[in-house]
């Protein structure tokens, strides 16, 4: 009888340890899920920015070459997924690249887009500015310096302008 009671007590003592391990595993899985969720949201935001900007810069290419570097390949594949279903414009910025190298880079981009299943006939590739729809010119604010009257005859070095300015729309 004593042996039987001792066995039950040992079993009862080990039971919470097993529950504790299950709790640790559940916590680890929950943390992993939270991390993956945050990474997914961040990746979607990055991909949305790449599509909105729809531009490849000289830093997306191997220095002095026509091939895409890792960043360029990643960004172009994000754009390719978008252009598979949507026509549009892709900007490939020339920067200080000579004409021959620029043409080779554009050809490389077209080749990769075709390999990704994009109908390049539905899109344009040019050395355009990045971004979305832009801003209407009426919304641009300019600052004009305010000119004060009179001229200086004392040679005091005054430019005839005050330090305050006016803002016009």
Per-position pLDDT tens, the chain of length 169: 666 555 565 556 655 555 677 777 777 777 777 777 666 666 788 889 999 999 999 999 999 999 999 999 999 999 999 999 999 999 999 999 999 999 999 999 999 999 999 999 999 999 988 765 555 556 556 666 777 665 544 444 444 444 455 555 5
Lookup: tokens for 29: 């899985």
pLDDT of 33: 73
Whether residue 133 lies inside any domain: the answer is: no
Are the beta carbons of 68 and 60 closer than 8 angstroms? yes
Question: What pLDDT, on a 0 to 100 scale, did the predictor assign at position 92?
Answer: 96
Q: Are 113 and 153 in contact (CB under 8 A)?
A: no
Domain that holds residue 92: 45-126
In-domain check, residue 31: no
Q: What is the pLDDT of residue 159?
A: 47
Residue 155 within any structural domain of the chain? no
Q: What is the reported pLDDT for 162?
A: 45
Structural domains counted in the chain = 1
Burial label for 163, CB within 10 Å (0-12, 13-18, 19+), is exposed
Cβ 112 vs Cβ 136: under 8 Å:
no
Asked if residue 77 is part of any domain, the answer here is yes
Q: Is residue 96 part of a domain?
A: yes
């Amino acid at each position: 009888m004593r042996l039987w009671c001792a066995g039950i007590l040992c079993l009862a003592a080990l039971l919470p340890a097993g529950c504790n391990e299950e709790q640790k595993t559940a916590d680890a899985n929950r943390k992993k899920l939270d991390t993956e969720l945050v990474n997914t949201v961040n990746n979607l935001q990055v991909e949305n920015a790449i599509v909105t900007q729809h531009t490849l810069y000289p830093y997306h290419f191997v220095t002095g070459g026509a091939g895409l570097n890792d960043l360029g390949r990643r960004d172009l594949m994000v754009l390719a997924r978008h252009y598979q279903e949507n026509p549009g414009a892709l900007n490939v910025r020339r920067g200080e690249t000579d004409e021959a190298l620029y043409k080779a880079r554009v050809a490389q981009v077209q080749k990769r887009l075709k390999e990704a299943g994009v109908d390049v006939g539905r899109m344009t590739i040019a050395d355009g500015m990045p971004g979305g729809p832009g801003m209407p010119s009426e919304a641009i604010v300019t600052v004009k310096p305010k000119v004060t009257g009179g001229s200086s005859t004392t040679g005091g070095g005054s430019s005839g302008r005050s330090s305050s300015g006016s803002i016009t729309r």
